[in-house]
Structure 1
Amino acid sequence: MEELIAKIWSFIGLFTLLQNILPPHLHKILMDWLFSVKDYFSPPHYHLEIPEFKDSHGVNANDLYDAVERYLDDVEGITRTRRLSVFRARNSSNLGFCPAFDEVVEDSFRGVRLWWTHSAQTEERNGGGGGDRNAVNERRRFTLKAENQDKDFICAYFDHITNRAAELNTLNKDLTLYTNAGDARWGEGWTGVPFKHPSTFASLALDPLLKSRILRDLDRFKKGREFYRRIGRSWKRGYLLHGPPGTGKSSLIAAIANYMRYDVYDMELTQVSDNTELRALLTQTREKSVIIIEDIDCSLNLGERVSNPPPGDQEEQKRSGITLSGLLNFTDGLWSCCGEERIILFTTNHKEMLDPALLRSGRMDMHILLSFCTFEAFKSLAFNYLQVEDHPLFAAVKEKMNSGAEMTSAEIIEVLINKVEEPSEALNDVICGLDAKIKVKEETLTVPPTSRQDVEEEAQNSKSRKCCRKGCSRKRRGKCRGCRRIESHVFD
């Protein structure tokens, strides 16, 4: 037995030496011979080749080849490979790795062992009448070796490779932020810039229970392809983010996009001329995307046009022709089924002003209230900005919040960021800010009757003033025609 072990080790040492000193073509001959010997003493195997097909522009047209290349970057066996090739996938700034030529990578699927080899064959071809008469053409391929299995196993294995490669491409791609800046009816609806927002769920100041609920819903949606097909619904999800200004709606949108690795389409409805252009914009969005319509309550007055706008009032002449039914069809109608894996996000500061038809399930599946900062969310902010997990002043902050003091996350962040190197002073400033909020709240509740009457009279008199936008002389009940906004503007 000892002699046998010694001979085995001697053979391994000789084989390692030959691998290091042999030139590449002899090394390949040696490897082919060893595999033929192994195949002779082992069960029969078959080989499948996945070649690279380049089109007239030199771009690979075999998607399966790209999927295998991406998949092998994630296979555990690649860590035991001596030589690797480095590549950069399209739409990604991250590096990927695949086995170098003639290197063998082992994989397993459903308990079956499989081996991948990456190889290349160079061919000389006549260049015709051009200057490059003897151009070299390189034909690359992946070869899969496995024990004899049925076709169902192979199909399932390649489905697994394709799905995993798609997940890796999504995780590694660079995100893009799009906005509608052109006429979508001519195919120029969106223009994009790199999306580099740093917001994540780890940095968000959200109540832990709410954060956990959102993450569970996103995970269920991401894995829901078969579920949505089975129940006969388009693979999309609608969210309504509502609450006071400064409570983190935009940060939550960025965190969702970063978590899902989806591109972002920020739609400005006031720039959309009519329902036809709205549908064109929808069809030009890609799968795995987040579509945002912010401040839906004051973006535009749906479906209403001014019959006789004042001369020279260009804003009134350009009133949007989008109707409520057009927007509903965009979110939950037939046109919403033109793509898969989309999240539609609406934001508003005044949920009560929205039409009930927008709020029903299927259009807004999940209503997320982002209210004033809670104590648990405050502790998250204190850790992110001050690197403080606990502090004696936390008790005072909690007491003030329980007493009814309300500050938004944006207000607390503004206080903390000015004293990031002095945690105690920063927390004292937060306590002072909460005290001021309580005082303002108490003064509001104790306004003298005469003062209340004065306030009401002032509000009534303001209706006779002109609109806050120059040139607007139209009258409309409850809304400003000039600026088309609902909040904090003087009405006709």
Structure 2
Amino acid sequence: MMMMEDGWTQLGSTVAAIVFFWTMYQNHFPDELHNQIKKFTKKLASYFYPYIKITFPESDGENWLDSQRAFHAIERYLGFHSSTQAKCLKAKVLNESEAVILSMDDREEVTDEFNGVKLWWKSNCQIRNSQSISLYPGEDVKRSFVLTFHQKHRDIVTESYLKHVLEEGKDIALRQRKRKLFSNTRRDDGCYKLWSHVVFEHPASFETLAMEGKKKKEIIDDLVTFSKSKEYYAKIGKAWKRGYLLYGPPGTGKSTMIAAMANFLNYDVYDLELTAVKDNSELRRLLINTSSKSIVVIEDIDCSLDLAGRRGKKAEEDSEDEEEEGNKANVKEIVKEMKNKDEKSNKLTLSGLLNCIDGLWSTCGEERLFVFTTNYVEKLDPALIRRGRMDKHIELSYCCFESFEVLARNYWNLESHELFPTIQELLGKTKMTPADVAENLMPKSADDDASVCLERLIKAIETEKEEARLKAEEEKRAKAENEENLEDGKENKQENVEKC
């Protein structure tokens, strides 16, 4: 007992001496000496503890949005690569996710390795004082990740590893999330938020797309090259975007092609309805709020607000034709009045659209595809579809035998059939869209089999062939009648001249 009392007495004296000398040090030693001692202490500590720690908070004051993005990218990376090491995990199920997302639980620690360098990650969580006021989202609970590594690996970590973690985390998030289909359609009351969305679950793929194999491979190679060309686009000084013009008759698979492109690249789709856009400023706001890795689609561009004729050229050409008939003054006044009325009623212009997809505003985002579809490419303004805006023109035409073979595999798992030669011969002489072919291959009752559907397809092609023949004859007869009427008109005109 005496020895214990003596020990406590000595400890108390030691603590009192330390407090006394610390107080004297704080009161009588200059600040410069304080700083020198701190530097020396840090150097001494680094000699015995040569490790560096970097903290990544979930929220960081005014930069809370950027901090959250980095934090969640690290969370996805660690959950994907290091979750097998952690004993305590958190499961997160999102409405738009295809799978359960696992991440490290609070105060859990895992190791990682990069180019032979060993690193340690730890998840921290601190509950904020309930009496304090939170100015930024997420500050009630302070979560962070702490990265620890040896100081000799500072350059590798700061220059390569952290970039690798953030990019890999973003890619994992893109792979785990479901794609979205966005729309800007205005409500009946005239109001709408910039974009509303649903989950994009279209099953189309290039494997099931009815198209010639050579053209299909060409498109796939072009998409792959684009998705891997970030540095190349930066090198040549162009925005990382690409334009596709899909044109062809109705039913040739333009919308299906867009869905296949989105599924292949894992991109979101923005269906831009130009008739719901009020003016050029609204169009800019819409495009600014599209995400990277997305496809901006304007379907039937030739029908969207008559953009093909909005530059005034078409109206002027029509007025010249009518002037030749003797109505010059009246036509000019009518055209001028119509143009003024049109400009007042709608401020969305072709020039505004071109600036958004190919001007300065087109750089507000990267890795985006702009896709226009049309049934009548000849109606479009050449400025809209020139190379550089619509870089790749893809014609989707009538069904050929190679396209039919794809549809036969899709619908009936057929590689060959005794009726295939007949179908091949008929498709070589008849224009029928893939949509019509697919409709005839679809079973109409439980008793239908492959042979029944193929026979129905043959009848449909023969009917289409006969209708096309009759239509051609009718057009030929109408043309001949027009030429005959023209000749009669010329003769009558000549007779009137002679009488005069």
Q: 2:168 aligns with which of 164, 167, 170?
A: 164
Q: Residue 389 of structure 2 aligns to which amino acid in structure 1?
A: R
Q: Residue 171 of structure 2 aligns to which amino acid in structure 1?
A: E
* Distance (Å, rounded) in 2 between the aligned partners of 1:209 and 1:351: 23
SS of 1:74's equivalent in the other structure is: helix
Quickly say closer, same or farther: Cα 1:171–1:457, change in 2 above 3 A: farther
Residue 96 (str. 1) matches residue 101 (str. 2) = yes
Deviation per residue, 1:276-321 (Å, 9 max, x gap): 3333332232322211111112222233697657xxxxx9797433
Q: 1:289 aligns with which of 286, 290, 294?
A: 294
| 8 A contact 1:115–1:145 mirrored in 2 | yes
* Distance (Å, rounded) in 2 between the aligned partners of 1:252 and 1:152: 43
Q: 2:75 aligns with which of 69, 76, 85?
A: 69
Q: Residue 251 of structure 2 aligns to which amino acid in structure 1?
A: G
Q: CA deviation at 1:322?
A: 3.0
Tell me the C-alpha RMSD between the 2 structures: 3.8
SS of 2:219's equivalent in the other structure is: helix
| 8 A contact 2:73–2:165 mirrored in 1 | yes
Q: Residue 438 of structure 1 aligns to which amino acid in structure 2?
A: K
Query: Could you tell which deviates more after superposition, 151-160 or 407-416?
Result: 151-160
SS of 1:418's equivalent in the other structure is: coil
Aligned to 1:270: 275
Residue 174 (str. 1) matches residue 178 (str. 2) = yes
Q: CA deviation at 1:234?
A: 0.8
* Distance (Å, rounded) in 1 between the aligned partners of 2:125 and 2:350: 60
Aligned to 1:413: 438
Quickly say closer, same or farther: Cα 1:378–1:118, change in 2 above 3 A: farther
| 8 A contact 1:330–1:336 mirrored in 2 | yes
* Structure 1 residues 1-16: aligned runs within 5 Å: none
Between 1 and 2, higher relative CO (CA 8 Å, sep ≥ 6) is seen in: 2
Q: CA deviation at 1:362?
A: 1.0
Aligned to 2:369: 343
* Distance (Å, rounded) in 2 between the aligned partners of 1:138 and 1:322: 47
Q: CA deviation at 1:400?
A: 1.9
Query: How many residues are paired up?
Result: 402
Query: Could you tell which deviates more after superposition, 245-254 or 61-70?
Result: 61-70
Q: Residue 383 of structure 2 aligns to which amino acid in structure 1?
A: A
Q: Hey, which of these two has a bigger chunk of helix by percent? A: 2
* Distance (Å, rounded) in 2 between the aligned partners of 1:324 and 1:121: 53
* Structure 1 residues 371-410: aligned runs within 5 Å: 371-402=397-428, 404-410=429-435
Q: CA deviation at 1:428?
A: 1.4
Deviation per residue, 1:168-222 (Å, 9 max, x gap): 2222223332222359x99943333333322222322222222222222222222
Quickly say closer, same or farther: Cα 1:66–1:395, change in 2 above 3 A: same
Deviation per residue, 1:44-101 (Å, 9 max, x gap): 97353444434799999443332221112332x6446665432246953532223456
* Distance (Å, rounded) in 1 between the aligned partners of 2:142 and 2:131: 15
Aligned to 1:364: 390
* Distance (Å, rounded) in 2 between the aligned partners of 1:367 and 1:442: 31
* Distance (Å, rounded) in 1 between the aligned partners of 2:220 and 2:151: 41
Unaligned runs of 5+ in 1: 1-43, 130-135, 310-314, 459-492
Which structure has the bigger radius of gyration?
2
Aligned to 2:259: 254
| 8 A contact 1:101–1:117 mirrored in 2 | no
Deviation per residue, 1:93-119 (Å, 9 max, x gap): 532223456766554433x14344444
Unaligned runs of 5+ in 2: 1-48, 134-139, 316-334, 486-500
Q: 2:453 aligns with which of 413, 426, 436?
A: 426
| 8 A contact 2:106–2:125 mirrored in 1 | no
Per the normalisation by structure 2, the TM-score is 0.69
* Distance (Å, rounded) in 1 between the aligned partners of 2:449 and 2:260: 28
Quickly say closer, same or farther: Cα 1:215–1:270, change in 2 above 3 A: same
Aligned to 2:208: 203
| 8 A contact 1:100–1:118 mirrored in 2 | no
* Distance (Å, rounded) in 1 between the aligned partners of 2:105 and 2:91: 9
Q: Residue 430 of structure 2 aligns to which amino acid in structure 1?
A: A
SS of 2:163's equivalent in the other structure is: helix
* Distance (Å, rounded) in 1 between the aligned partners of 2:439 and 2:193: 39
SS of 1:439's equivalent in the other structure is: helix
Q: CA deviation at 1:348?
A: 0.7
Q: CA deviation at 1:437?
A: 2.5
* Distance (Å, rounded) in 1 between the aligned partners of 2:118 and 2:94: 25
Quickly say closer, same or farther: Cα 1:354–1:138, change in 2 above 3 A: closer
Aligned to 1:109: 114
Residue 242 (str. 1) matches residue 247 (str. 2) = yes
Quickly say closer, same or farther: Cα 1:316–1:128, change in 2 above 3 A: closer
| 8 A contact 2:52–2:150 mirrored in 1 | yes
SS of 2:441's equivalent in the other structure is: helix
* Distance (Å, rounded) in 1 between the aligned partners of 2:86 and 2:386: 55
Q: CA deviation at 1:244?
A: 0.5
Q: Tell me the percent identity.
A: 37
